[in-house]
């Protein structure tokens, strides 16, 4: 299967056959974040049943082989800041701004309306 043929959770799972169960769960949960919404590393960890694994969620997203199909740019820190390297954080901020996510002082202004 090619990246541009991925349309569903099942496609994501099949493409990620070489990843661990944890990595697959993180990437599938991230795949389901709709445009114009965001989540946090902590929320993804809760969603996959590993509430204390927020740092591991960040590591799994750092190795995302399906960006932007799996929109890891929609996952931010609980305080709204962008994790990772400065250059990558700037790129993710720009993508979120294009999607209409409110950014203030370089961080996402997290609200109930955009958090999933």
- Residue 94 among the catalytic residues: no
Between CA 104 and CA 9 the distance in angstroms is 32
Q: Which of 26, 69, 72, 101 is catalytic?
A: 72
Active-site residue list: 72
């Amino acid at each position: 299967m090619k990246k541009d043929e991925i349309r569903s959770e099942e496609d994501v799972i099949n493409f990620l056959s070489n990843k661990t169960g944890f990595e697959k769960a993180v990437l599938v949960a991230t795949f389901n974040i709709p445009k114009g919404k965001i989540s946090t590393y902590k929320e993804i960890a809760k969603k996959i049943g590993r509430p204390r694994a927020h740092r591991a969620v960040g590591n799994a997203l750092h190795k995302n082989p399906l960006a932007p199909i799996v929109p890891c740019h929609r996952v931010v820190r609980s305080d709204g800041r962008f994790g990772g390297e400065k250059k990558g954080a700037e790129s993710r901020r720009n993508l979120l701004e294009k999607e209409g996510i409110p950014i203030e002082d370089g961080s996402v202004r997290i609200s109930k309306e955009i958090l999933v």
